[in-house]
Amino acid sequence: MQDTIDRPYHHGDLRRAVIETAMGMLHEDKGWQFTLREVARRAGVSHAAPYKHFSDKAALLAEMALVGFDKLRQALTSAKRRRWKSLRDEFFAAARAYVRFGTTNPALYRLMFSADAGKAAEVHLNERALAAFAVLTELLERGQAEGYLRKRDVRGQAAACWAQIHGLTMLTIDGLLLPAKVGPKPLDAALITLLEGVEN
């Protein structure tokens, strides 16, 4: 009899079993080259079972990407819950939480921004992905309302912040923020420069 770790399926919970199995494989393999057939075998269900909830592999990957955005939102929200002395401290905490999420979950983070997870608009305009982005826009809107940040189109500010933090996350994942090239503590230095660009 196979171990329950290899066969996590429980009656009535097929969708969750398929997602959790695929997430485990993503973490172990550091990629998503697996097939739905392999996921089904690991989940302990028939080869056809995943198709009851996912039309194809891209649909499963899209759901996994959305799970990633759920987790990212949780990480950002958790960082914001602390009572920080200033919005600057809160901004740095959220940015570091973002980078930490990506570096702790590199394969999942890459999947969240991969074309393999389906059409970008379908994933990134999904309310779950937008909820993660809203943590940033809310912080920027509050900073503007309090007079701490320059009054600009908040979407433009959010795009600039997201682009830089995403880039920093990818460079950190790939081990390319080399002190010999960009100086000591490059992440902190880059975040300070970013915030100074939107501060009053």
Q: What are the tens digits of pLDDT across the range 36-53?
A: 999 999 999 999 999 999
Domain ranges for the chain: 1-54, 56-198
Q: Which two tokens stand for residue 183?
A: 């100086």
96 with 79: CB under 8 angstroms?
Answer: yes
CATH 1.10.1420 fits 1-54, yes or no: no
Query: Which tokens is 127 given?
Result: 């309310």
Is-same-fold flag (1-54; 56-198)? Answer: no
- The CATH-assigned architecture of domain 56-198 is Orthogonal Bundle (1.10)
Tell me what the mean pLDDT of segment 95-122 comes to. 95
For residue range 80-93, list pLDDT tens digits in order. Answer: 877 788 999 999 99
How high is the pLDDT of residue 10?
Answer: 52
Q: What sign does the CA torsion over 10, 12, 13, 18 have?
A: positive
To the nearest 10°, report the CA torsion of 28, 115, 63, 41.
-50
Query: Does the pLDDT at position 16 exceed 90?
Result: yes
**Using CA atoms, how far apart are residues 165 and 66, in angstroms rounded to an integer?**
19
pLDDT at 118: 84
pLDDT at 124 over 50: yes
pLDDT band of residue 187 (cuts 50, 70, 90) is very high
Q: Once rounded to an integer, what is the mean pLDDT over residues 155-177?
A: 96
75, 98 Cβ separation under 8 angstroms: yes
- Please report, rounded to a whole number, the percentage of residues in the chain having pLDDT higher than 90: 88
pTM, rounded to two decimals: 0.90
